[in-house]
A = this chain, B = another copy of it.
Amino acid sequence: MFDASVYTARRDALRSKVKGGVILLPGHVDSPINNAANCYRFRQDSNFAYYFGIYKPGMVGVIDEGGRSIIYGDDVSLDDIVWTGPVPTVREQAEEVGVKTTRPLRDLPADLQVAIRKGQRMHIAPPYRAETVLQLSEWLGLMPTHVRNYASEELIAAIISMREVKSAGEIEELDRIAEVGYEMQTAAMRMAQPGEQENTIFGVLEGIAATGGNLTSFGSIISQHGETLHNDKHFDILREGRLLLVDCGVEAYSNYVTDNTRTIPVGGTFTPQQLDMYNLVLQAQEYGIAHSKSGVRYLDVHLGVCGVIVEGLRAMGLVRGDVKEAVEIGVQGLFFPHGLGHMMGLDCHDMESLGETLVGYSRDVARSKQFGLSALRCAKELKEGFVVTVEPGIYFIPELIDQWKAQGVMKGFINYDEVEKYRNFGGIRLEDDIVITAGGCRIIGKKRIPIAPADVTAEVQKGRFAGKK
């Protein structure tokens, strides 16, 4: 992905941040579907990709106490070549990323044991795949249930401090892959016609992602029930008058991703009720973008966005009372029960395997327990080079409305009779990915995915005419 010097500099910086001990970064092995030889599409561990830059299974990266980088891995045999074709050697691949020392994988456990006997600490990141747990258990002689307890806070903090600030090269790659994300979203708009199946759109987006990248960056949400936040069902037929929420992204072979949400009126026409609510979400989203800049806590941007939403809902008669007070006690939780966004980069929820709170919060910004606000993934002060999503939404979740109404939650602020009129509304979310710049921020990608109501409608209309040809 990058020049060898980039990876060498990253490893040197990591080594200087982590005092002593062995830094052990296992790359991924293949992940079996239904037998050992039939695996999901390979996807490298993001930390390994960031520091060792090789996108092949079965490699392990080590930075020893003396600062030397070593890649452990095995070459393919001639018998395998009949099945896989010629493959570069581990040594050739290591050279590409500035690593001079390579060893067969079987040497790793003994090498680690030598270091352990010398009293050197093993710095590992928290494993999230069972394969990695098993490997670490075996290599380090730990009980599998205890492996996670050995994750190194020092290593985690060092990695976060480096990966959270994206370099120009990383942003270039994010801009590049954003074009595929654009294609996915606009394809969905053109297909948002009555009678079309959610599933067909799902399949087409899978295809676009697999053509332009390696994978979708997460299971695409393509649903006329946008009020279910992580709806993985997509088996309905599109109906005129419904809103289709499309939250999807692509992941490049480099692991860099996109993550965008648009909410599309099936057939291309918003009802007046939908249009009012859509414009409110859009206003909130643009408030979020306008206020994201270096030195500002993302928590405060989130709370500002909540203010916009509550203010708008008050104008519509769904909420009453003082806006500031309403936001403080969390009235917005009924309508917007998640956070404004998360960091993004080599992962969609960037570095989330290292610990969501460690990534998104800092010593001076603690996590709230308030419903809704507690789901905010990124709250800390923004810095130049941060990449975050801006994704407010307004949803009408029947189960949640019933629960709050029955318990009379914040009934002084919430006009439940008015809320009931939106019971079958569904949900709206709008999401762009931004990078914090010197002057403020900008949206990732060469052009913004259509978001103004007229632009979305126009894109849907294109598909309607294409279908009628």
Contacts and interface: CB of A to CB of B under 8 A. Distances in A.
Given A130-B134, A134-B130, A207-B203, A228 B34 contact: no
Nearest to A230: B83
A208 B203 contact: yes
A85 B228 contact: yes
A355 B207 CA distance: 33
Contacts of A32: 128-129
Nearest to A44: B34
Nearest to A217: B38
Given A134-B130, A144-B144, A207-B210, A38 B349 contact: yes
Q: Choose among A36, A82, A203, A403 the residue with the greatest number of B CB atoms under 10 Å from its CB.
A: A82
B399 A228 contact: no
A211 B199 contact: yes
Contacts of A197: 211
A281 interface: no
Nearest to A41: B219
B85 A231 contact: yes
A39 B45 CA distance: 13
Interface in A177-214: 197, 199-200, 202-212
Contacts of A199: 210-211
**Count class of interface residues, chain A:** 35 or more
B81 A37 contact: no
A412 interface: no
Copies in the complex: 2
Interface in A37-83: 37-41, 43, 45-46, 78, 81-83
Contacts of A45: 34
A283 interface: no
A228 B36 CA distance: 20
Nearest to A33: B43
A273 interface: no
A222 to B, nearest CB: 11
A141 B187 CA distance: 51
Given A130-B133, A229-B82, A349 B31 contact: no
A159 B209 CA distance: 38
A317 interface: no
A225 interface: yes
Contact of A34 (B131, B144, B353): B353
Contacts of A218: 38
A149 to B, nearest CB: 15
Q: Choose among A46, A78, A128, A400 the residue with the greatest number of B CB atoms under 10 Å from its CB.
A: A128
Contacts of A347: 34-35, 38
A28 to B, nearest CB: 9
B349 A37 contact: yes
A295 interface: no
Contacts of A39: 219
B130 A352 contact: no
Interface string A119-137: 0000000001111011001
Nearest to A348: B38
B399 A82 contact: yes
Interface in A117-175: 128-131, 133-134, 137-138, 144-145
A209 B340 CA distance: 34
A26 interface: no
A203 B209 CA distance: 7
A456 interface: no
Contacts of A233: 85
Interface in A81-124: 81-86
15 contacts: A34-B46, A34-B347, A34-B352, A35-B349, A39-B219, A78-B399, A82-B229, A82-B337, A85-B228, A85-B231, A86-B399, A133-B134, A134-B144, A200-B211, A203-B207
Interface of A: 31-41, 43, 45-46, 78, 81-86, 128-131, 133-134, 137-138, 144-145, 197, 199-200, 202-212, 215, 218-219, 225, 228-233, 255, 337, 347-349, 352-353, 397, 399-400, 403
Given A31-B31, A34-B353, A138-B144, 13 more contacts: A34-B46, A34-B352, A35-B349, A37-B349, A85-B225, A85-B233, A133-B134, A137-B144, A199-B211, A202-B210, A203-B206, A203-B209, A204-B207
| A-B pairs with lowest CB-CB distance, top 3 | A207-B207, A203-B211, A130-B130
